[in-house]
Amino acid sequence: MYNVLVVDDEREITDAIEVYLRNQNYNVFKAYDGAEALEIFEKEEIHLVLMDVMMPRLDGTSATIKIRENSTVPIIILSAKSEDVDKIWGLNVGADDYITKPFNPMELLARVNSSLRRYTSYSNVTTTKEDVIKIGGIELRDESKAVFVDGEAVRITPLEYKILYLLMNHPNRVFSIEEIYEKVWNEPAYNPDTVTVHIRRIREKIEINPGEPKYLKVVWGVGYKFEQPKRL
């Protein structure tokens, strides 16, 4: 049984989400601010976090930053439609996805289910053989789900890994934002703009100069590609 941490200062929302999740056989922990969420996260084995943005004591983005220091569990931001800045900021600091309030319960459950499928498929490492992709100074080891930049390991989330694997597995091929979303999230492109945020985070981890990327490049009006350096 998966443990889901629901964080929101509105008790009616946490109680409603608890009902939806328990009906799907999820175990639910509830917190009403970011500080309480961190306390629960330290004590319990949490597999996914639903995180509100605006909360007392410690807001959702600050709590997300703390969780991301040591964990790659899926974090889904719960954001009011009027809080686009907070929503994008949450993605920038480490959240995997967002759901706008008010939300449809079926959409919420679909996002939770798909996020956990991606996370568990990332975590369940096979041991048959090491599948290594190396392009320039970037090395991706699929068995251990590890990424190295010039020989140095970098911390990467499951979603970032899947995006990088897709692009590195097809060097120089341009993927549209919608195509990346559908292949990585394994669902219709509900929030394709989140791809841009994840690409930016990947660049910050693998590029010497993220503003002028050597590998992960945009093709304006089309999408993104992982460019294979030309041999001299």
Domains parsed from the chain with CATH numbers = 3-123 (3.40.50.2300), 132-226 (1.10.10.10)
Q: Model pTM?
A: 0.71
Q: What distance in Å separates the CA atoms of residue 91 and residue 14, rounded to the nearest whole number?
A: 21
- Per-residue pLDDT band at 127 (split at 50, 70, 90): very low
- The separation between CA 106 and the C-alpha centre of its own chain, rounded to angstroms, equals 20
Give backbone dihedrals phi and psi of 198, rounded to 5 degrees, phi first: -65, -40
pLDDT at 123: 59
pLDDT at 81: 63
- Per-residue pLDDT band at 30 (split at 50, 70, 90): very high
Say whether the peptide bond before residue 102 is cis (omega within 30 degrees of 0).
yes
Q: Which residues contact 2 (CB under 8 A, 6 or more apart)?
A: 26, 27, 47, 48, 116
Q: What distance in Å separates the CA atoms of residue 213 and residue 4, rounded to the nearest whole number?
A: 37
pLDDT of 128-176, one tens digit each? 445 889 999 999 988 888 899 999 999 888 889 999 999 999 999 999 9
